[in-house]
Amino acid sequence: MPHKIEVIATEEAFCTPEIYKRTKELVGQPGLSRSLELMAKTVFGESPQSAYLKERLFDLGEGRLKEMREHGVDRQVISLTSPGVQALGADVAVGLAREANDMLAEAIKNHPSKFAGLTAVYPLDVMEAAREVERGATQLGLKGVIVNSHTAGLYLDDPRFRDFLAAAEAYSMPIYLHPREPSPGMEQPYVDYGLFFAGWGFAAETGLHAMRLIMSGRLDEFPGLRIILGHLGEGLPYWMKRIDNRYKLQASLGNGNPIKELPSFYFNRNFWITTSGMEDPAALRLCLENVPNDRIMFAGDFPYEDPRGSAEMVRSTVTDPSLLHRIFEGTATGLFGLNREQ
């Protein structure tokens, strides 16, 4: 390899003060789902941990750069923290997404070799979301789209989101499908015992979203879509062989929605996964055996996790220098259209 491996972290969060404030204000509002209220209290609350997160989420300058140096991260692909604007009303969400994108683009302009970013959207305003994908790609220099799973309980397989998916495909903007708390229709069993949060509910919610995209036929309709899942694929690499097997049984019985290929075909063609929040060598080895190796990228999950632990796990598990290069740099560079001069 001609140069030292650049460590690119691909699921790194930020927030604007106004989005933070409005998300915090959701607590106690009538009709708010219990799991969203608990999430807002946890991440956007008054605890010392919340204050720690707030300081880092707001920082798109020297403080973030200092921590990147300490963590051994050369570049961050930054996106609006969950749930983004998707938990807010349409009357404010579109404008706040645009404001966040402008703020992120300015930070990238100030630090082009250190930061890249993903476009935030409010998916329920589909045409505005499609326009913002275009603006992010053609005017702001952003490299993809962040979607924090469901919006008001709706998933991207819903027919109303076709124009948004078409824009993401047309402008070659990968969609990072990031977790949030379970949707209102599935939340009740997850609220007990804290199961709605990152330990279980986030993966269940986002894995379901990914499977809906596969099983609905949307990836036959939009074959060029590129979807990113964090946390080593939200459990899907572990399940994919069984998913294929059971799909064949369902198809033979005439159940479900027919798709042109087996589910694993779409997973291997349309999905990329990152290491965010996963410090388990066994899980990474399973992914290396079951996922194309040019579809796995490093992520630190800043500021919610310590990127050093994830990076050390990758280095201790992967001994092939060319594969290590792909995970830390090569795959992200190709997927997001990065170069070392940016």
- Decide if 1 is inside a domain: no
Q: Is the pLDDT of residue 319 over 90?
A: yes
Task: Indicate if the alpha-carbon torsion angle 80, 214, 278, 114 is positive or negative.
Answer: negative
Q: Is the pLDDT of residue 1 over 50?
A: no
Q: Cβ atoms within 10 A of the Cβ of 2, count?
A: 3
Task: Indicate if the alpha-carbon torsion angle 83, 338, 330, 73 is positive or negative.
Answer: negative
Longest dimension (CA), the chain: 59
Residue with tokens 């973030």: 64
Element (H, E) at 80: strand 75-80
Nearest of 10, 36, 15 to residue 25 by alpha carbon = 36
Residue ranges making up the domain that contains 222:
8-335
- Decide if 147 is inside a domain: yes
DSSP assignment of 122-180 equals -TTSHHHHHHHHHHIIIII----EEE-S-BTTB-TTSGGGHHHHHHHHHTT--EEE---
Nearest of 150, 147, 195 to residue 34 by alpha carbon = 195
Where in the sequence numbering do the catalytic residues fall? 301
Residue 110, class by beta-carbon neighbours within 10 Å (0-12 exposed, 13-18 middle, 19+ buried)?
exposed
How many whole angstroms separate alpha carbon 158 and alpha carbon 181?
19
The pLDDT tens digits for 117-155 are 999 999 999 999 999 999 999 999 999 999 999 999 999
CA atoms within 13 A on the CB side of 225: 28
Task: Indicate if the alpha-carbon torsion angle 109, 275, 223, 123 is positive or negative.
Answer: negative
Nearest of 52, 11, 9 to residue 177 by alpha carbon = 11
The pLDDT tens digits for 240-271 are 999 999 999 988 888 877 899 999 999 999 99
Nearest of 221, 139, 158, 138 to residue 147 by alpha carbon = 158
Residue length of the chain: 342
CB of 149 closer than 8 Å to CB of 178: yes
Residue 320 has φ and ψ, to the nearest 5°, of -75, 115
What is the layout of strands, in order, in the sheet containing 296-297? 119-120, 145-147, 175-177, 227-229, 271-274, 296-297
Q: Is the pLDDT of residue 342 over 50?
A: no
- Decide if 164 is inside a domain: yes
> Which two tokens mark 115?
């930061």
CB of 7 closer than 8 Å to CB of 72: yes
How many whole angstroms separate alpha carbon 45 and alpha carbon 198?
17
- Decide if 157 is inside a domain: yes
Residue 115, class by beta-carbon neighbours within 10 Å (0-12 exposed, 13-18 middle, 19+ buried)?
buried
The pLDDT tens digits for 321-339 are 999 999 999 999 999 999 8
Reported confidence tier of residue 317, pLDDT bands at 50, 70, 90 = very high
- Decide if 340 is inside a domain: no
- Decide if 3 is inside a domain: no
Number of domains in the chain: 1
CATH number of the domain to which 132 belongs: 3.20.20.140
Reported confidence tier of residue 4, pLDDT bands at 50, 70, 90 = confident
- Decide if 341 is inside a domain: no
The pLDDT tens digits for 61-99 are 999 999 999 999 999 999 999 999 999 999 999 999 999
- Decide if 2 is inside a domain: no
- pTM of this prediction? 0.96
